[in-house]
Amino acid sequence: MFKATIYVTLKDSVLDPQGVAVKGSLHTLGFEGVRDVRIGKRVEVLLECESRAEAEKQIKELSEKVLSNPVIENFTFELEEVA
C-alpha cells in the first residue's frame, strides 16, 4: 500500500481570487503584515499497488487527469510505502 500526498497549486501567472479575498480578511482582522496569499489543495491518496514504480505512474496520471487542471495548475507529490 502506498500513501501519496499531492499538492495542487495555481500557476504563478494565474490570479487567485480566493487568496485575494483571504488577504483582505486578514488585513481587516489586523494581520497587516500579510503581503500575499495563495490557496491550493493538498490531497492524500491511499493506493493499493504492487510496486513503487506503478504507484508513481498512477499517481502522476490521476493528478494530471483528475486532481488538477493542467492549463492553470501545477502539481507535485510525495509517495511513501505504508503497511
Q: Smaller CB distance to its own copies: residue 47 or 79?
A: 47
- Binding-residue total with its own copies (CB under 8 A): 33
CA distance 17 to 50: 41
Q: Cβ(15)–Cβ(55) under 8 Å?
A: no
CA distance 21 to 31: 14
Please state the closest distance from residue 71 (CB atom) to its own copies, in A.
19
Q: What residues from 51 to 70 belong to the interface with its own copies (CB under 8 A)?
A: 58, 61-62, 65-67
Asked if residue 79 binds its own copies (CB under 8 A), the reply is: no
Asked if residue 21 binds its own copies (CB under 8 A), the reply is: no
Binding residue (CB under 8 A) for its own copies from 15, 44, 51, 71:
44
Chain centre distance of CA 26: 22
Q: Is the sign of the CA dihedral 62, 64, 65, 69 positive or negative? A: positive
Q: Smaller CB distance to its own copies: residue 35 or 53?
A: 35
